[in-house]
A and B are shown apart, each in its own frame.
Chain A
């Protein structure tokens, strides 16, 4: 995020469901129908309409920068995360223990990175308001999401799990409206509806 913007990352994020579907062909021998590809593209377009706040000029001027390339790699790993969470799960596993051990694994990989790259921790800088933000990211957006994703992926699979990314615009619009009082344009509402319909179509087997 140091090298890019929320706008760009949110746009690139829309590729994750399609990337996951492609990996699912290889790993789980699942089929990817032509009509599904169309739904993925339509879902991505709907999401982009919201991301760009319906501003077509902004959308046409969209360019990738260094941070975006990094984020592209991140979405490949996000896809592989959902694939591996499904692939490695066995019936006698405890989801909560896997969640805990995944977090421990995260500490292991991050610890290696900190040592190898000689990165100063500087955790004392996380105080006051920043500590509250960090608490949310640690508990709400890490602990709960890892647990909820692990719990869900074993039931509905990686492809359907990632299809939920197209619901993101709806939540983003609601959050912006509630927290910042941002007015939502008709075009943005259209984008939200298009994204949500795409998700429903991708999930409808259930």
Chain B
């Protein structure tokens, strides 16, 4: 079976590298995007199973990205995890239709939990669609 594919969007390259490293150790296939355009292209060329996205990026609000994706039927079925160093953002992230929320810095056990829950959710959404 093909490894699950996870896309990460963050304006901070160190965070991208870190997330990629820990996810790859758990045998996920990881695509990192430094710009929204890269993620948008990826959604067409190699649609991921889960998206992990930073909330506050320079020039981009992850909540708006999430809202736009969730409003598009071709992308709404990809579970969306928003994570941020901004405190007390859970409410607004959930309001933006994010499936999961993580506060930075996070515990990696918690992080892996959210990712595997997102994978489960994706499978459920796929079955429903089929």
Chain A complexes with chain B: no
Which B residues contact A (CB, under 8 angstroms)? none
Give me the interface of A with B, judged by CB distance under 8 Å. Answer: none
